[in-house]
Each structure stands twice: as structure tokens, then as C-alpha cells.
Amino acid sequence: MDHHEVLIVGGGNAGISLAAKLLRDGAKDVAIVESESVHRYRPMLNYVGGGEATMEDLERPAAAVMPKDATWIRGRVVSCDPTGPSVTTRDGRTITCTTLVIATGLEEDWGDTPGLEEAYAAGWAGSTFLVQTAPKVWPAVRDLTNGRVVFSMPPEPAPCAATALKPLFMACDHWQRAGVLQNLDIHLALPGPTSIGVPKADSILEDALTAYGVQVLRNARVTSVSERQVTVRTDERDVVLDEIAYAHVIPSYRAPRWVAESDLAGTSEAGLVDVDPLTLRHRRHDGVWSLGDVADLGIKPSGGALRKQVAVLSPNILASGGGELQHYDGYTVMPITVARHQLMLVEIDREGRPAPSVPVLDPVRPRRLTWAIDRYALPVVYFRRILRGRV
Ligand SMILES: Cc1cc2nc3c(=O)[nH]c(=O)nc-3n(C[C@H](O)[C@H](O)[C@H](O)COP(=O)(O)OP(=O)(O)OC[C@H]3O[C@@H](n4cnc5c(N)ncnc54)[C@H](O)[C@@H]3O)c2cc1C
């Protein structure tokens, strides 16, 4: 039977950057279970959907991002015994470990939006949140000159849900420049009462939505999708939007089923891993930790949040024999383009208070500079520093 000191399930943003940091901090035996042969910088998917980037810009071979001193176990975990701890892969391999880290991210909950997969396949709907449909979004919205379009933001938990506004605003800016904006009937389904729940940012976003003539459905959830039709449930009523030219509808998300159905999960409806949101240690199983989108941390998940989580989790794992554990402050980030080349950066702590990384500039004010950093500088920092445990 295989055994490793630290076993990380998932080689995404969380798993790779944690493994790299642990090795830098002195860990000797770190293994990552990951089945995918391609690693993606997912924030760039929205720029693909806005016609500002290609899939090649965000994809790298997984082998190129694996830390060289980590063991890569190519497989898909299908079950876990958190008491061991141990995991079993789809091909029947059981791996035991001293420390287990769950970093699987979330998966689409297709059952929550019946008809959505079929609409993607038919081509009149798509989403930047899915690798398969992201490259088809821009050609579809770019060529629209009239008709009804629907955008949605997924309910929490979701991978940086607020960035669902990026393709909307990039499309609106394009339609405005093309002189067709007034011919389009644009709808947005928001899961909450305001755009993102941060007052200063909300006021800028609401102004932008009004300026582009977007009709907003609040406290709204897409409940079903059928032949060119999207049904949205709000507090008061079901709204049926039909004769749709294009729908950018994003599915709901949840933890992988094997996580949700094991004793890793707590009481969250999405089956997230039940960790102490400060130390990232499992509440019942001392040898188990979690970070990233799948961990129940009481925040809106984001890749930016991982920067702080990794900085806390690596020393905590190495100190787990008895040293003092560090605390994660709940930092997360929501970068949103309000025009093609203007971006606001909303950084908050667990209580929703502003937590700017660079306190001298007001990052919430949309700027071209912030957009250029998000589009061009951050991907370089991601591949060269974050995935190498250097941030
Ligand atoms: C369209 C989009 C735009 C975004 N924009 C931003 C942004 O602008 N800024 C920002 O900060 N964040 C953004 N995010 C969020 C960010 O990408 C995620 O928060 C981040 O990727 C989470 O990392 P993770 O490692 O927890 O999960 P993931 O990135 O989902 O990685 C999980 C990994 O685990 C693997 N895995 C899953 N299950 C198993 C299993 N059973 N066995 C083995 N391996 C498994 C998967 O193959 C995957 O490689 C965006 C996300 C999307 C989708």
C-alpha cells in the first residue's frame, strides 16, 4: 500500500500552490492526486468569453506546474476514510497518509438547473465557467445585433461567482461600441438583493447596469432552461424569459459527491469540507485539512483567497504535532470589469470589511491599470510565483 506524509487531493490552484509552499517550508514527502493532464488559470476564462484571451493563454501541461519534488499520483479519488486517513482512487488504489488535504474544488450541480446542459449542447447557451463552452461564448455574443439575452450569477458556493459579471459588462461595452446596445433586451439574474453585497462596489455596479440598460432580477435563481427559454425564480414570482437569442447561464456548484457523502462534510447544503475556518483543520479529524473552493470557510471562494490560505495552512500542517496554529482572516477578492478595459478590485475580509492589498490606491474604483494587472500581470505571477509557493 502507498503511504505519504502529506497527501493532497486535487492539483488545482489550491493543491499545487500548497504543495510547493510545503516543500519550500521543509516538508519532505508531499504527494498530489490529480487526473487532469492540463492545468488552467481559470480567472482567464472570463477574458476568453470577452474576446480578450484564448484558451492557449490559460492552459499549461499539468506536468509543467507540478512541483518537481512532489509525487504526482495520476488518478481520481472516489472515496475517503478520514479516520485513517486514506483515499481510494477510481482504479482501486488505496493511499494512506499522515496528513490529508482536500483541495478538489467544486463541481457543477447539473440537477439544480434542468435543461442547462442540453442548452449548452444546442449552442444557444454557454458559460465562461466551463472549459467546454468558454471559447464559444465570445463568437456568440460578438455577433448579436438584436434580441433577448440573459446572464446569471451562480449562488454561493461557486468559484468567484462575482466574476460572472465580467462577460456581461465586456459584452455590453462591445454592443455599445458596435451601436447595437439599444436593440438588445438584456436581463441579469442576481442571487442576492444587490450586485455583490459590498456597498461601495454595489453602487458603481448598479450605475453601470443602469447605464447599459440591463434589467435586473434580484434574489433570483435560474430554475430551468428549455427550448430558448429560461425560468428564473425570485422571492415574489417565477419569471419566464423566452425567445432568447443567447443565455450566459452558469450552473450551481457543490462539493464532489464522495466528499459530501463522507464524514468530511459538515452541515452545509453543498457538502463542503467541515474545517475550522481560522486554522483550516477538520473539526473532527485532526489529520485532515482543507482549503480552496471546497472548504467551508464562510467566505465567497476565490483564487486570490488562496494566497492567504496557503500562507496559513503550510505552517499549520508543519506545526500540527503541537505548535501554535496560525489564523486565516477570511480575505477574498472579486475582480470585475465594468467595461472592456476597466476593472474594479473588491477585496474584503470575512466580515465584509475592505481589505485592500495595496492600501494607497482605491482598488474599488474601476481603472485601466487594474484591468491590465488582472489581464496581463496576474497570469504571469500565477504561473511563476503562486504555483511555485513563492507568494
Ligand atoms: C470563470 C472563472 C473565473 C474566475 N475568476 C477569478 C478571478 O478573477 N479571481 C480569483 O481570485 N478567482 C477567480 N476564479 C476562482 C478560482 O479559479 C478558484 O477559486 C480556484 O481555482 C480554486 O482553486 P481550487 O484548487 O480550490 O479548485 P480548482 O481550481 O477547481 O481545482 C481543483 C482540482 O482538483 C482536481 N480534482 C477534483 N476532484 C478530484 C478527485 N476526486 N481526485 C483528484 N483530483 C480531483 C480537479 O481536476 C482540479 O484540478 C474564477 C473561477 C472561474 C471558474
Residue 363 within any structural domain of the chain: no
302 CA: nearest ligand 1 atom: 19
Domain with 143 in it? 110-252
Q: What is the CATH number of the domain that holds 89?
A: 3.50.50.60
Q: How is residue 7 written as a grid cell? A: 497527501
Residue 43 alpha carbon to ligand 1 centre in Å:
9
Instruction: Give domain status of residue 336, yes or no.
Output: no
Beta carbon of 341 within 6 Å of any ligand 1 atom: no
**Nearest residue by C-alpha to atom 18 in ligand 1:** 303
For residue 14, what are the CA distances in angstroms to 10, 89, 132, 279, 373? 8, 20, 22, 15, 21
Looking at the 3D structure of the chain, how many domains does it have? 2
Structural contact between residues 61 and 69, judged by C-beta atoms closer than 8 angstroms: no
* Cβ atoms 243, 228 nearer than 8 A: yes
Scan for cell 435560474, then name that residue. 222
Per-residue pLDDT of the chain (391 residues; tens, 9 = 90+): 699 999 999 999 999 999 999 999 999 999 999 999 999 999 999 999 999 999 999 999 999 999 999 999 999 999 999 999 999 999 999 999 999 999 999 999 999 999 999 999 999 999 999 999 999 999 999 999 999 999 999 999 999 999 999 999 999 999 999 999 999 999 999 999 999 999 999 999 999 999 999 999 999 999 999 999 999 999 989 999 999 999 999 999 999 999 999 999 999 999 999 999 999 999 999 999 999 999 999 999 999 999 999 999 999 999 987 889 999 999 999 999 999 999 999 999 999 999 999 877 899 999 999 999 999 999 999 999 999 999 8
| Residue 271 in domain | yes
Residue 174 Cα, ligand 1 centroid: separation in angstroms? 28
Q: Are residues 247 and 260 in the same domain?
A: no
Domain closes at, from 252, 270, 304: 252
Question: Is 216 domain-assigned?
Answer: yes
The count of C-alpha atoms lying within 13 angstroms of the C-alpha of 121, restricted to the half-sphere facing its C-beta, is 6
Identify whether 338 is part of a domain. no
Residues 116 and 229 in one domain: yes
Answer yes or no: is 337 within a domain. Answer: no
* 199 & 260 share domain: no
* C-beta 49 within 6 A of ligand 1: no
In this structure, are 243 and 271 located in the same domain? no
Q: 231 and 304 share a domain?
A: no
Residue with CA at minimum distance from ligand 1 atom 31: 12
pTM over 0.95: yes
Q: What atom in ligand 1 is closest to the CA of residue 39?
A: 49
The DSSP bridge pattern shows strands 244-248 and 252-254 to be unpaired
174 within 8 A of 275, measured Cβ to Cβ: no
Instruction: Confirm whether 195 is domain-assigned.
Output: yes
CA of 256 to the centre of ligand 1 (A): 13
- Show the CA angle centred on residue 176, arms to residues 155 and 171, nearest 5°: 30
Are residues 288 and 154 part of one domain? no
Residue 388 lies in a domain: no
Cell 464524514, located at residue: 263
Q: Domain boundary residue among 252, 275, 298?
A: 252
